[in-house]
Amino acid sequence: MSKIVGVIGGMGPAATVQYMARVQALTPTKREQDHLRLIVDCNPHVPDRNDAAGGNGASPAEVLAGMARGLERAGAQMLAMPCNAAHAYAADIQAAVSIPFLNLIDAVCDQAVAAAPSVGVLAADACLEAGLYQNGLARRGVEALVGDAAEQAAFMQLLYRIKAGDLGAEVRTGMRQLAENLIERGAQAIVAGCTEVPLVLGPSDVPVPFVDSIEILAARTVAVAKQP
């Protein structure tokens, strides 16, 4: 029997839906009943991780821990969270439950090691402030390149447009330009270190390997859930 997966979602909702779609697509099946059971808490009211990182808002730690506890009570046997920045609170989540929590950052860093020795990271302020990718990649001997202050401000503007539902050409062009800037500085791969990034940027948009955090978490979810 496959494990029941609890999804700590809603950050943002479109990324959660994309993650669920990729889990469904990546699950090997011969019949409907072979698919994974997902119990999803899609909560867009989790306090903003970037505001919290900047000292301008409440910490989301207790809300995330409460979501984890609720999913465990509902029957989840493992947890996944399709939000990179919220992994700054991974310890709070794991401490709240007795079931395993898949760490998205670790999964992506493991994949990035195989992609290139120097990678550009497109990620939200909270993710970068916590050093999630910088530290995770450094432990694996991979250099993380990030944008300068102006580029990061541009990224955040694009991010909030995506969260508001704007997946148009201007947003796609802007995200592609930020990736190209990192490649010009020496990045030999691009890490989509925010689950909104793959909604507007994909492997065909960049001339180097594209490390998709949604795809990687979905694949890891299926692999772990299907383990005996």
Query: How many whole angstroms separate alpha carbon 106 and alpha carbon 111?
Result: 9
pTM value is 0.95
Assess whether 83 carries a catalytic annotation.
yes
- Main-chain phi, psi angles of 79, to 5 degrees: -125, 145
Q: Residue 56 corresponds to which tokens in the numbers above?
A: 């301008």
- Rg, Å, the chain Cα set: 17
pLDDT at site 177? 98
Q: Among 220, 189, 197, 201, which Cα is nearest to 113's?
A: 189
Contact status, residue 159 vs residue 178, Cβ threshold 8 Å: no
Contact status, residue 41 vs residue 74, Cβ threshold 8 Å: no
Which residue stretches of the chain have pLDDT < 70? Answer: none
Residue spans of beta strands (DSSP E) within 33-99: 38-42, 78-80
Given this structure, which CATH class describes domain 5-103+216-225?
alpha beta
pLDDT at site 224? 98
pLDDT at site 97? 98
The reply to whether domains 5-103+216-225 and 105-212 share a CATH topology is yes
Burial 32-62 (b: 16+ CB within 10 A, else e): eeeebebbbbebeebebbbebbeeeeeebbe
Would you tell me which CATH number, out of the four given (3.40.50.300, 3.90.1330.10, 3.30.710.10, 3.40.50.1860), belongs to the domain 105-212? 3.40.50.1860
In the set 42, 83, 109, 127, the catalytic residue is: 83
Query: Cis omega (within 30 of 0) on the bond before 12?
Result: yes
pLDDT at site 228? 84
- Give per-residue pLDDT as tens, 57-78: 999 999 999 999 999 999 999 9
- What are the residue ranges spanned by the domains of the chain? 5-103+216-225, 105-212
